[in-house]
Amino acid sequence: MSPVQQVLASLATGAVEIHDLTAPLSAETPTLVLPEPFSNLIDFSIDEVSAYNETGPFWKHHNIHTGEHIGTHIDAPIHWISGREGKDVSQLDPARLVGPAVVLDFSAESAADPDFLIDVEHLVAWQEENGDFPTNAWLLFRTGWDKFGHDKQAFLNLDENGSHTPGFTAECAKWIAEELEISGIGVETVGIDAGNAAVLNPPFPMHYHLLGADKYGITSLKNLDKLPTHGALIVVAPLPIVGGTGAPTRVLAMVQK
């Protein structure tokens, strides 16, 4: 039996389960809110064109309207100034969109402090206990933030001082980008940087370092609590938009039952 046949057989018998890590996309999906003078993307909306009626007697179809970086989506290198000469979404290497998933659980720290920042020492300690991160891996950071996915106010956690959601120190972002041979990172929050990352140096360091190093980011994940720390296979499937800086993305994980 070939390796592919083994996977198919495991799926058929239920020995391998598939978990959907994607947040449903609708007009109620929480989206990033940038302060003035910055421009925001449009929220997702859907318009009916026909519904088994005179404009389409045998079918129903819609127009959709959305920004690239809405809901569960991928950030391509050209999304950020540091990756401006890099790849758009249509050019992302398919071999890097499928790979091992590593779940790093910082839900307790994030519950205690919504401004919690993951630092290099946290990831070094994980490797000392579990071994090196696999080549081509996706590091998925579990903060428990997906529980706010149906509450825009709680999900963005905005006040007069800005947004308060967990993320990464500038040093950690640089270390991940330069020292790890991974494909990308995934988070449960609205963006791959912390809510208050504008005040870090450089601003939004995960965007700056990760995308500048030809690595990718995915946001607004859910169900990370259903995955093992390591051993799962992740499939990241963005729309291949030519010239796109990002795209809505379906993210699936295969897990041994």
Mean pLDDT across the stretch 225-245? Answer: 97
Number of other CB atoms surrounding residue 66 within 10 Å: 20
pLDDT digits (tens, 9 = 90+) for 167-191: 999 999 999 999 999 999 999 999 9
How many whole angstroms separate alpha carbon 155 and alpha carbon 247?
20
65 counts as catalytic? no
pLDDT band at 35 (very low <50, low <70, confident <90, very high): confident
State how many domains the chain has.
1
Mean pLDDT across the stretch 38-60? Answer: 96
Angle (CA) 72 196 203, round 5°: 90
| Options 19, 69, 73, 79, the catalytic residue | 79
Strand partners, 104: 141
Q: At residue 205, does pLDDT exceed 90?
A: yes
pLDDT digits (tens, 9 = 90+) for 136-161: 999 999 999 999 999 999 999 999 88
For the whole model, what pTM was predicted? 0.95
132: domain CATH number is 3.50.30.50
R_g (Cα) of the chain, nearest Å = 19
Q: At residue 247, does pLDDT exceed 90?
A: yes
Going through the chain in order, the beta strands assigned E by DSSP cover 16-20, 45-53, 56-65, 73-75, 98-105, 117-118, 138-142, 158-159, 162-163, 167-168, 184-187, 216-218, 230-238, 246-256
How many residues does this entry show for the chain?
257
pLDDT digits (tens, 9 = 90+) for 92-123: 999 999 999 999 999 999 999 999 999 999 99
**pLDDT at residue 146, as a whole number:** 96
Listed in sequence order, the residues at least 6 apart from 54 whose beta carbon sits closer than 8 Å to its beta carbon are none
Residue 105 backbone phi and psi in degrees, to 5: -95, 110
> Domain range holding 19?
3-256
